[in-house]
A and B are shown apart, each in its own frame.
Chain A
Amino acid sequence: MTESMRRHDQAQQVLRVAHVLGVRPEQVDPLASVPADQIRQLHDQLANWLFAVHEDSFARVASVSKVIPGAVAGKLAERFLQPALAARAAVMLEPAKARDLVNKVSVNYLADVALSLDPVRGTPVIKAIPPARVAEVAKALFDRDELAAMAEFAGSVDKPALDAALKVASPAQLVRVAPLLAWNDNIEQIIDELPDARVDAILTAIAHDSLWAEASVLLRRLRAETLARVVERLQSLPDVAAQIPTDLVGELAVDLFETGELDTMVLFMPVVPDAALGRALEVAGGADLLRIAPLLTWTDRVHDILENLTDEQLDTVLLDMASHDLWGEASVLLREVRMPALVRVAGRLEAHRGLAEQIPADLIRDLATDLFAEGQFETMVLFVPVVSGDALHAAITVAGAENLLRIAGMITWTDSIVSVLETLPDTFLDQILTEVVEKDLFAEGETLVEHLDEALRQRIVTRMSAAPPELLIRIRQAVVENTSSPVLADMVKAVESIVDLPPK
């Protein structure tokens, strides 16, 4: 509950204490510093004490109803019995008699009585009142803005009566009374059963009257399914949705992430303003951001927000990825984000090498599949120096010989990368040779061999020696015409010393 709502609740309870003591509210002003539930407790203590000191008298007054006709009793009560006294006598009535009497007095008098009625002790009597009459009294209380009194009774009436009472409230009154209600299944069910038109009217009233503080309390009390329905209605009310305060969405996001109601959170994404969406993703923290990634609709807004995460936020995502074992979710996130975000991820992994090495090979293989398919070589090479050997091996395997040749000049070469290449099978080396010739990638091939160690170059010489003569002839020709690399030239010479090639 927000601070303003807390103050509102306190003020309402202070009014009740003043009412029971028969003094002006300012005479009990020091209570304004006391939490509302404790003011309510004090109110009940005072009311009970006042009831107890004249309990016998109230019982006798109530007994009169047994010996005179209801119409006479009603008329006498309204004319001579102050509502506060009537309220204390009323709780001692037999419920059947109460049902009769409520129709013999005016609605206004009943509303006055209701203001002093003890909702707990009076529960049997209150429950005996027909829903239609409850609705009339509720209307009178709403018209007087006696929301606290209304809220007190919500727990004492059956669902049909509560439904009838809440139906007479205007949309704005309903929103304003909601935070004061002791939440129960009846209220939840009634809200569930509200027709779309009523939900729309309530949402419109919230925006029109700026009842966001009250709405916050109301929305945070709803079950996820009910909240989901509210969000669905918001989709047809863009003017209302556009006004949803950032803080409110942030609070809801905290609740929903805490309870794992990610599906509902996702519903908010397309509806709320940018700032609110940003706040929701901000409060998500690393783990929840990863968890929600597979459920998101990846709109430009979502991308923009993710690309604007701070390094610190990004680090949290990466650290949570490892500590919460959220590799599957991370895979979705990394494959969905746009290149600028992926480049930043690679940059942060550079700063967290230990973390990068934990990334499973499968994840990097999937990422590499996407990046090579899209020709995103520059982004791919950012991951090459930081990931584990297994992951790099997996990436090179899906890259294929041609893509490896194409990124050879962009890679920041390290011994670890060379070590991974050493584990590649002969068939892969053969494929490299073929691609060099078939795709005319001599320059790339030259770059590649210059970064390899002696052992690997020797393996390539061996594979070249076993290659078809036509292939060797074309390599030799290309080396003569295009390359200035002494490494490649030496390798061709080594091949020539093994294989008897036709003269140049």
Chain B
Amino acid sequence: MPSTSPLAELLGAELPPAVAELPAEFHAELAEFLVAARQSQNNALESSVNSALKAVPLPLRGVVKKVLLG
């Protein structure tokens, strides 16, 4: 079992035992995938919000913008 799993550190949680037994390299890969997924999610959210805002009917755009962007 890896002594310090980058995946467990990232998640801030103990991994399931059989997952914890997998090679450290794989843990590192999963951690990279997860960070990439977070970035991708962030980009997608940003892009969705911006695109959606443009498509919101004008009378509603102000209130939607306020809800989405604070």
Contacts and interface: CB of A to CB of B under 8 A. Distances in A.
23 contacts: A21-B30, A22-B33, A22-B40, A23-B33, A27-B33, A34-B16, A34-B19, A34-B22, A41-B19, A42-B16, A42-B19, A45-B11, A50-B37, A50-B41, A54-B38, A57-B45, A72-B60, A79-B52, A80-B55, A82-B48, A84-B44, A85-B41, A85-B44
Interface string A29-55: 011011100110110011001100110
A21 B48 CA distance: 19
B28 to A, nearest CB: 12
Given A21-B34, A38-B16, A84-B41, A61 B49 contact: yes
- Sorted nearest first, the 5 A-B pairs with minimum C-beta distance are A38-B16, A80-B52, A34-B18, A21-B33, A41-B16
Contacts of B30: 21, 28
A67 interface: yes
A2 B15 CA distance: 26
Interface string B47-70: 011011001110010011001111
Given A21-B30, A67-B60, A80 B51 contact: yes
B64 A30 contact: no
B56 A68 contact: yes
A27 B36 CA distance: 14
Given A22-B40, A49-B11, A61-B68, A31 B33 contact: no
A35 B18 contact: yes
B18 A33 contact: yes
A477 interface: no
Contacts of A84: 41, 44
B10 to A, nearest CB: 7
Given A27-B29, A46-B11, A72-B57, A81 B18 contact: no
Contacts of B11: 45-46, 49
A64 interface: yes
Contacts of A30: 22-23, 26
A85 B40 CA distance: 11
A55 B67 CA distance: 14
Contacts of B38: 50, 53-54
Q: Is the interface of A mostly helix, strand, loop or mixed?
A: helix
A63 interface: yes
Contacts, number: 103
A49 B67 contact: no
Interface of B: 10-11, 13, 15-19, 22-23, 26, 29-30, 33-34, 36-38, 40-42, 44-45, 48-49, 51-52, 55-57, 60, 63-64, 67-70
A64 B23 contact: no
A6 interface: no
Interface string A192-219: 0000000000000000000000000000
A76 interface: yes
Interface string A380-414: 00000000000000000000000000000000000
Given A31-B19, A38-B17, A85-B45, A21 B37 contact: yes
Contacts of B36: 21-22
Contacts of B29: 27
Contacts of A222: none
A21 B10 CA distance: 14
Nearest to A42: B19
A339 interface: no
A72 B57 CA distance: 9
Contact of A45 (B13, B49, B60): B13
Contact of B10 (A23, A34, A49): A49
Nearest to B63: A67
Contacts of A45: 11, 13, 15
A63 B38 CA distance: 22
A120 to B, nearest CB: 16
A190 interface: no
B4 to A, nearest CB: 17
A63 B66 CA distance: 11
A4 to B, nearest CB: 19
A168 interface: no
